[in-house]
Amino acid sequence: MTAKIIDGKGIAADLRGKVADAVHRLARDRGIVPGLAVVLVGNNPASESYVASKMKMTVGSGMRSFDHRLPKETSEAELLGLIARLNADPSVHGILVQLPLPAQIDPHKIIAAVDPAKDVDGFSPVNAGRLCAGLPALAPCTPVGCILLAKTVQPSLAGLEAVVIGRSNIVGKPLAQLLLAENATVTVAHSKTRELAAVCRRADLLFAAVGRPEMVRRDWVKPGATVIDVGVNRVTPAGGRSRIVGDVAFAEVAEVAGAISPVPGGVGPMTIACLLANTVRAACALAGLREPAFGQPPAEDRE
């Protein structure tokens, strides 16, 4: 069997088109231009390039982008001060503080300081709790992107065995909650999981979010399963040029899976598209307007 390749780039472009249409209607009918503030502390090269593409796509979809670059020595109090100003600024509808932060700043304190109504990353304890409780929430962008990709292959995830490898607050945990909201049967595997390959082989839907290059091998995958690869790992073969690979050994897994998302060109472009969608949703909610769903799972659809 040769897997269908899930075209994250194309699916993300479609979603950005829907976001741009919604932005156009908001400006035309209500005079609202959604604004996204991105805060970058220090100059981590990976964060810089990620932030640059976020800003480009924000402006490309008709929204305002506010760029806040702070030196790596910035204190926690200074960053909290900026967040308080952004929380109070009516032209800012979404706030994203790029992680990781320098060691002198406690990320939990910063995340908790962002107004939950503007928390387009969906990382705040309020939004994480709302997601767990099945209440409407701004949900983290990468996990939402994973669900949207899986649903292009399997429109209903109800009753499917889903295995998530990785239990981070950014991906693994919220992804498990979103899968539960879709009525999947969910296992979260992690570094202490025993018989990991056997656990993964049960999955109809396998999500790899561990940051270990090509860890998921062909014999970990049930024939016909949908495999979504969240990993972004730079590897440099001896004497060769560096390249980006996922957490899944793509070529060999593609021989057994039913569908697989590539790296690059899978989950990555979806994350930014979902961030733009969250910013529009936040702008609508802050104005008391009905939010466009952009394919996100409904809240409270569980038994």
Positions annotated as catalytic residues are 54, 98, 121
CB of 140 to ligand GUN, least distance (A): 7
Judged by CB under 6 A, the residue of 58, 61, 98, 124 near ligand GUN is 98
Least Å from the CB of residue 41 to ligand GUN: 11
Shortest Cβ contact with ligand GUN: which residue? Answer: 99
CA dihedral sign, ordered 269, 14, 98, 167: negative
Question: Which of 96, 113, 221, 260 touches ligand GUN (CB under 6 A)?
Answer: 96
User: How far apart are alpha carbons 185 and 163 in whole angstroms?
Assistant: 8
Q: How many residues does the chain have?
A: 303
Rounded Cα distance between 246 and 210, Å, is 9
Q: Should residue 99 be labelled a site residue for ligand GUN when binding is judged by CB under 6 A?
A: yes
Residue closer to ligand GUN by CB (options 97, 208) is 97
The nearest distance, CB 271 to ligand GUN, in angstroms, is: 6
Residue 74 makes contact with ligand GUN by CB under 6 A: no
Q: Segment near ligand GUN (CB under 6 A), from 26-34, 94-102, 174-182, 213-221?
A: 94-102
Per-residue tokens: 252: 């060999």
**Per rule CB under 6 A, count of chain residues that contact ligand GUN:** 9
Residues numbered 117 to 156 that lie near ligand GUN (CB under 6 A) are 121, 141-142
- 33 scored as a contact of ligand GUN (CB under 6 A): no
Phi-psi region of 166 (alpha: psi -120 to 50; beta: other; left: phi over 0): left
The DSSP call for residue 105 is: S
List binders of ligand GUN among 154-193 (CB under 6 A).
Answer: 170
Of the candidate spans 21-29, 56-64, 85-93, 95-103, the one that interacts with ligand GUN by CB under 6 A turns out to be 95-103
- Please identify, using beta-carbon distances, which residue of 123 and 220 lies nearer to ligand GUN: 123
Cα–Cα separations (whole angstroms), residue 291 to 32, 33, 136, 137, 142: 14, 15, 10, 11, 20
Within 13 Å of residue 106, how many CA atoms lie on the same side as its CB? 5
In degrees and rounded to multiples of 5, residue 272 shows phi and psi of -70, -40
| 65 vs 142, beta carbon nearer ligand GUN | 142
Closest residue by Cα to residue 139 from 107, 116, 168, 114: 116
Closest by alpha carbon to 9, among 296, 260, 266, 232? Answer: 266
Which spans of this chain sit near ligand GUN (rule: CB under 6 A)? 96-99, 121, 141-142, 170, 271
